[in-house]
């Protein structure tokens, strides 16, 4: 089978979060299983672009509303990622430093989708499956089903994977002419609450919809930023497939970002060496349990609770533990986390920003990873943490519920809590600190974590089964 993935992110080309990790890994595993997986994404101005060789494979033009634009498809010449990678260059629109958060994001991502569809329509042999990810690419199933210029693609089965239903790409109806000449009778497929809703259109038009954990699929029927009824109605075509992790990139034995490598056999010394270098860098006491948070500083991750939860834990538990935060997001959360550094110096530190290397060092050097998320469709951090022998401390939601079992349950290996609240986080930190102080039990748990298998093999097979079920 030939599968074309269309995405706004793909690691290591461009990554803002877990979507990039998934699209950078799944195609490799599909190829290893004997299929041909390709990825097409926008051409941003990233380091990867300048560090690699490219060849032009197609040039074309299309309309976005009344604006005629040219696009170029380039291909990475050496296949260094383990799959064919194509970038879409649209002058002035896509070739920017950041992935998202420009005012003209609707224009950028709709042009990108038009260019992809226009390009695929020119292929002699079409892909067997088009697999799109999140709202930035969710109009593609609609375009190939209902846009007149692309009817030669209408028979290609489409799969939409929802990594995050909070963002839906809402668009005013005044911009409906952005979508290439479409069957006007189908306006109801695009509409949700008097707006064009690309994610809703994708859910209705795709042949199959998947989400990145079973629990999240279930939760979306109860809470999905307005789409609850649609998920209930379309439940028959939806499935939950848990993400895997790329065990070649995330391997404590070979991780090139780490100064000290370790395995399950060298776990206590290996973790200690990584913790020491982290604690030295951030002025923390390596004898105390180290809790870290890595992620986007936004409400979904309950990041605004961190300052008080950290302050309360340090105050009420007599500074028995240390904290280190890495993240970027809402300026007021960034500000608070940064300002606290001075007051709690020696017990707490933070690095505001995005730093891939430091994130690896933190998974390796920490004792506990905090994830109090309000919404967590899957979450990769907890799986990376476990692979590096770090105990996940998570709220029971979405993929966190599906991947972490509390130490209070038979066979448990993590710390779970129910509410995204300062009280629940502080209580979980207390439980972690007690666990840390019981060295024998703590080491046994870490060993258990490192033996868990979260690799893509199993999940990639589930995607293959989905693709096969859609073919004639
Ligand atoms: P989400 O996609 O919702 O942000 P995930 O848990 O799926 O959450 O994936 C987050 C990914 O982004 C992980 O690879 C994590 O290590 C990485 N990440 C998040 N914030 C940062 C940061 N500030 N610096 C480095 N890596 C980060
Ligand atoms: C999203 C979700 C996260 C998930 C990731 C990859 O960004 O917020 O939970 O792990 O996508 O699927």
For residue 373, the CA-to-ligand 1 centroid distance in Å is 13
Supply the residue whose CA is at minimum distance from atom 22 of ligand 1. 354
For residue 30, the CA-to-ligand 2 centroid distance in Å is 20
The yes-or-no answer to whether 2-244+457-470 and 264-454 have a common fold is: yes
Atom number, ligand 1, closest to the C-alpha of residue 380 = 6
Top CATH class, 2-244+457-470: alpha beta
Question: Over its length of 472 residues, how does the chain's per-residue pLDDT go in tens digits?
Answer: 999 999 999 999 999 999 999 999 999 999 999 999 999 999 999 999 999 999 999 999 999 999 999 999 999 999 999 999 999 999 999 999 999 999 999 999 999 999 999 999 999 999 999 999 999 999 999 999 999 999 999 999 999 999 999 999 999 999 999 999 999 999 999 999 999 999 999 999 999 999 999 999 999 999 999 999 999 999 999 999 999 999 999 999 999 999 899 999 999 999 999 999 999 999 999 999 999 999 999 999 999 999 999 999 999 999 999 999 999 999 999 999 999 999 999 999 999 999 999 999 999 999 999 999 999 999 999 999 999 999 999 999 999 999 999 999 999 999 999 999 999 999 999 999 999 999 999 999 999 999 999 999 999 999 999 999 999 9
Smallest-distance ligand from the CA of 371: 1
Top mutation candidate among 249, 378, 381, 382 for ligand 1, by most atoms within 8 Å of CB:
381
Atom number, ligand 1, closest to the C-alpha of residue 300 = 3
For residue 376, the CA-to-ligand 2 centroid distance in Å is 7
378 lines ligand 2 (CB under 6 A): yes
Atom number, ligand 1, closest to the C-alpha of residue 11 = 14
The CATH number for 264-454, chosen from 3.90.1150.10, 3.40.50.2000, 1.10.10.10, 1.20.120.450, is: 3.40.50.2000
SS (H, E, C) the chain: CEEEEECCCECCCECCCHHHHHHHHHHHHHHHCCCEEEEEEECCCCHHHHHCCEEEEEEEEEEECCEEEEEEEEEECCCCCCCEEEEEECCCCCCCCCCCCCCCHHHHHHHHHHHHHHHHHCCCCCCCEEEEECHHHCHHHHHHHHEHHHHHHCCCCEEEEECCCCCCCCECHHHHHHCCCECHHHHHHHEECCEECHHHHHHHHCCEEEECCHHHHHHHCCCCCCCHHHHHHCHHHEEECCCCECCCCCCCCCCCCCCCCCCHHHHHHHHHHHHHHHHHHHCCCCCCCEEEEEEEECHHHCHHHHHHHHHHHHHHCCCCCEEEEEEEECHHHHHHHHHHHHHCCCCEEEEECCCHHHHHHHHHHCCEEEECCCCCCCCCHHHHHHHCCCEEEEECCHHHHHHCCECCCCCCCEEEECCCCHHHHHHHHHHHHHHHHCHHHHHHHHHHHHCCCCEHHHHHHHHHHHHHHHCC
Domain boundaries, the chain: 2-244+457-470, 264-454
Name the pTM for this structure.
0.96
Supply the residue whose CA is at minimum distance from atom 10 of ligand 2. 379
212 lines ligand 2 (CB under 6 A): yes
Supply the residue whose CA is at minimum distance from atom 18 of ligand 1. 295
379 lines ligand 1 (CB under 6 A): yes
210 lines ligand 2 (CB under 6 A): no
Supply the residue whose CA is at minimum distance from atom 11 of ligand 2. 163
For residue 250, the CA-to-ligand 1 centroid distance in Å is 13
């Amino acid at each position: 089978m030939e599968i074309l993935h269309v995405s706004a992110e793909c690691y290591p080309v461009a990554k803002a979060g877990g979507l990039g990790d998934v699209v950078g890994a799944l195609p490799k595993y599909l190829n290893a299983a004997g299929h041909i997986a390709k990825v097409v994404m926008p051409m941003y101005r990233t380091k990867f672009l300048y560090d690699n060789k490219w060849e032009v494979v197609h040039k074309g033009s299309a309309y976005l509303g009344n604006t005629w634009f040219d696009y170029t498809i380039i291909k990475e010449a050496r296949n260094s990622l383990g799959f064919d990678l194509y970038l879409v260059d649209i002058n002035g629109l896509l070739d920017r430093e950041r992935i998202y958060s420009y005012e003209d994001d609707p224009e950028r991502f709709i042009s990108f989708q038009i260019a992809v569809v226009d390009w695929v329509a020119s292929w002699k042999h079409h892909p067997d499956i088009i697999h799109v990810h999140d709202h930035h690419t969710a109009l593609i199933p609609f375009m190939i089903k209902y846009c007149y210029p692309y009817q030669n693609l209408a028979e290609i089965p489409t799969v939409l994977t929802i990594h995050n239903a909070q963002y839906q790409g809402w668009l005013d109806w005044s911009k409906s002419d952005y979508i290439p000449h479409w069957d006007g009778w189908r306006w109801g497929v695009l509409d949700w609450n008097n707006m064009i809703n690309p994610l809703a259109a994708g859910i209705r038009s795709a042949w199959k919809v998947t989400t990145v954990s079973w629990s999240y699929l279930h939760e979306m029927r109860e809470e999905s930023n307005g789409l609850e009824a649609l998920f209930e109605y379309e439940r028959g075509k939806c499935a939950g497939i848990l993400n895997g992790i790329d065990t070649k990139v995330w391997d404590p034995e070979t991780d090139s970002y780490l100064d000290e490598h370790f395995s399950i056999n060298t776990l206590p010394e290996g973790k200690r060496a990584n913790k020491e270098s982290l604690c030295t860098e951030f002025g923390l006491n390596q004898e105390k349990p180290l809790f870290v948070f890595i992620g986007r500083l936004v409400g979904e991750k309950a990041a605004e609770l961190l300052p008080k939860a950290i302050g309360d834990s340090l105050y009420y538990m007599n500074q028995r533990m240390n904290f280190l935060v890495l993240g970027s997001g809402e300026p007021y959360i960034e500000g608070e986390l940064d300002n606290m550094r001075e007051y709690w110096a020696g017990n707490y530190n933070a690095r505001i920003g995005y730093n891939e290397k430091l994130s690896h060092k933190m998974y390796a050097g920490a004792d506990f990873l905090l994830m109090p998320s309000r919404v967590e469709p899957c979450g990769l951090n907890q799986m990376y943490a476990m692979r590096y022998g770090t105990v996940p401390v998570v709220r029971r939601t979405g993929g966190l519920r599906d991947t972490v079992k509390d130490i209070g349950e038979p066979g448990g290996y993590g710390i779970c809590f129910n509410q995204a609240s300062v009280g629940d986080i502080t209580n979980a930190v207390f439980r972690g600190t007690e666990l840390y102080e019981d060295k024998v039990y703590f080491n046994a748990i870490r060993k258990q974590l490192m033996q868990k298998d979260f690799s893509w093999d199993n999940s990639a097979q589930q995607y293959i089964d989905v693709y096969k079920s859609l073919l004639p």
